[in-house]
Amino acid sequence: MKKIYRSFNAWIIFSMVLGIVVGYIFPKFGTDFKILADIFIKLIKIVIGPIIFITIVNGISGMGNMKQLGRIGGKAIIYFEIISTIALFFGLIAVNVFKPGVGTNQAVFHANNTAVDAVKSAGTTHHFSDFIMSIIPDSFVGAFTQGEMLPILFISILFGVALTSLGEKGKPIQIGLEKLSVVFFAILNMFIKFSPVAAFGAMAFTVGKFGLGSLLSLAKFTGILYLSMFLFVFLVFGAVARIYRFSLFHFIRHIKEELLLVFGIAASEPALPGLMDKLEKYGCSKSIVGLVVPSGYSFNMDGLCIYLAMGTMFIAQAYGVDLSLWQQLTLLGIMFLTSKGIAGVTGGAFIVLAGTVAAHPMIPVEGLALLFGIDRFIAGGRSVINVLGNGVAAVVIAKSEKQFTPEVNIIKYNNDHKKSS
């Protein structure tokens, strides 16, 4: 089995490198391969909604009582907000220390102004009231057809709470959903085999469309952003891991396939089902995983928070805008609200950045063009931090609730997968 996984990892890495080479040598030809990544993401979205729904419903009903559900949900939200806030401050400190935007020559940057204008327009319309309304779907089925995370979370929690209130009458439904989840995970495994091809297509398109020059022209910002995310992982997540007594390195190795996948296609959603599966094997209870991870995809996006703080300040520095400490803290408050609930939205991170910049009159909105060209290059790293952060959150909540039993869960996980295969 280990040889298969190693081969799978090698294929993803090889596909990414090959995509970069093809996109660089044959740029026009490389952009045509975008369809491979688009097909893969659409395939994954077929099963994401049902898997999230079934997992959350089974997680809530498996807890047995509303008091436990409220305690775990409240604990998860508090954890999410603390870590997200730390990520925002981390990005703000990094951009103030390294000052990547100082001395930037805006004339060397080229971006698709029409596309930037469209994203700016979307960003200015992304208000907090829109976020609240987006939680409630137009219908039960509409929650799944919209392809967004929050409506599915809303419907799943309602269904799970109602099912729990039925007691024994709801047991047959719960058992049926557990059996149905095996089918959806089997479909998912079929789609995952296509991921190296998707990674090739994504990289070929990115390099072919924007070129390596767009990355090199902003190499300082890109390098500092990746350095900041690296330090955040090993300082913040490392400290959390030490407090809750688990090895961060071991955990990263455990979910390395999911991390490679999201880095290659620059989207975190396709890794969600596999991450939940791996967390259960790692030792977290099904109930904890089912509630914490899908919620974290909307409320605990640490990579996005670091990017927002650094991106807005980079634009300010590039245009020579000197923001006071109070103005920067005000920006963090705006980011704290705008970063919620954007999971599943195409180009969501850049839309949030646009909304944040538009909400602060001192930062030139035109500066978005500086980051537009390289957004695809940094989206992979941003997605890795998001996925890793939600995995760590699940382990933390499971351990704090004494629902972390690695030995028992590994045996159960292996038995379940033998039956399904």
- Distance CA(357)–CA(100), nearest Å, equals 17
Q: What is the mean pLDDT of the chain?
A: 77
Q: Is the pLDDT of residue 247 over 50?
A: yes
* Radius of gyration (C-alpha) of the chain in whole angstroms: 21
Q: Are 196 and 52 in contact (CB under 8 A)?
A: no
Q: Is the pLDDT of residue 203 over 90?
A: no
Q: Is the pLDDT of residue 180 over 90?
A: no
Q: Please name the residues in contact with 182: beta carbons below 8 A apart, sequence gap of 6 or more.
A: 416, 419, 420
Per-residue pLDDT, averaged over 398-417, amounts to 67
End-to-end CA distance of the chain: 14
Task: Quote the crossing angle between the two packed helices 66-98 and 302-318, to the nearest 10°.
Answer: 30
pLDDT at 4: 43
Amino acid at 363: I
Q: Please name the residues in contact with 400: beta carbons below 8 A apart, sequence gap of 6 or more.
A: 75, 244
Q: Which of 378, 7, 407, 12 is nearest to 214 (CA)?
A: 378
Q: Is the pLDDT of residue 6 over 70?
A: no
Q: Please name the residues in contact with 149: beta carbons below 8 A apart, sequence gap of 6 or more.
A: 52, 269, 294, 297, 298, 341, 343, 344
Q: Which has more pLDDT, 342 or 256?
A: 256
pLDDT at 129: 65
Grade residue 230 by pLDDT with cuts at 50, 70 and 90: very high
Q: Classify residue 375 as exposed, middle or buried by CB count within 10 Å of its CB (0-12, 13-18, 19+).
A: buried
The topology under which CATH files domain 2-420 is: Proton glutamate symport protein (1.10.3860)
CB neighbourhood size of 268 (10 A): 30
Q: Is the pLDDT of residue 28 over 80?
A: yes
C-alpha distances out from residue 100 to 164, 228, 305, 319, 329, Å: 52, 12, 17, 12, 19
pLDDT at 396: 94
3-class SS at 284? strand
- Which range has the worst mean pLDDT, 53-57, 83-87, 235-239, 259-263? 53-57
- Distance CA(64)–CA(206), nearest Å, equals 48
Per-residue pLDDT, averaged over 358-377, amounts to 70
CA 370-375-379 angle, to 5 degrees, is 155
C-alpha distances out from residue 48 to 3, 41, 145, Å: 27, 10, 11
pLDDT at 9: 62
3-class SS at 102? coil
pTM: 0.70
Q: Classify residue 408 as exposed, middle or buried by CB count within 10 Å of its CB (0-12, 13-18, 19+).
A: exposed
- Which range has the worst mean pLDDT, 192-206, 239-253, 353-367? 353-367
Amino acid at 285: S
